[in-house]
Amino acid sequence: MAQGDAIDRELADLPPDLRWREWMRRVEAVLFASAAPVPREDLARIVGQGSSVDLLIEDLCADLADRPYTVARIGSGWALRTRPAYAGVIRTAADVKDKALNLSEFDTAVLAAIAYHQPITRDGLREIFGKDISRDLIGRLFERELIATGPRAPRRGAPYTYVTTDAFLDAFGMQSLADLPDDEQLADAVG
């Protein structure tokens, strides 16, 4: 919504059930149009004061139960996402190449190390991998917005640390870092 666009948030002229339905449609429209997960605060600006964004999302999820897409919690926001059962048909028929991460196995390993050990410095990554991690690799991860700078390390020279972003969560279909596989799940995946 452009700055200055005035909308009737309260919809007081509608009966309660139609008002709720319209708020759900607004939330769905915003999620559909947004390229990034939409935080609660942004959704709250398009619905009435007495409404609950969480309940609207819950009802929208129920409304979309038989659709090929659903509402996914990504970090601190929500986004519409295709259900996994439709991934193959989308890859076959739609142009989604620009969304592919195209990370090498080593790039993915570095990204995983950052996710599991954040905030982590380049020195910390060197300790994990036994070699320096190139600035080019870090730059590619920054460019794709999968990582960001974290707090400065509390030691001499205060080097930068790296942390993952909501774009990382989105790219890997996670709501939070708590969704990262634990040691047992990793062992099962590898072994």
Ordered by where they begin, the domains of the chain are 16-93 (1.10.10.10), 101-190 (1.10.10.10)
Share of the chain above pLDDT 90, in %: 68
Confidence of residue 3 (pLDDT cuts 50, 70, 90): low
Determine the pLDDT at residue 19.
Answer: 96
Show Cβ contacts of residue 35 under 8 Å, excluding neighbours closer than 6 positions: none
Show Cβ contacts of residue 34 under 8 Å, excluding neighbours closer than 6 positions: 79
- CA dihedral defined by 37, 39, 45, 48, rounded to 10 degrees? 100
* Residues 125-154 pLDDT 10s: 999 999 999 999 999 999 999 999 999 888
pTM beyond 0.75:
no
Least confident of 14-18, 160-164, 166-170: 166-170
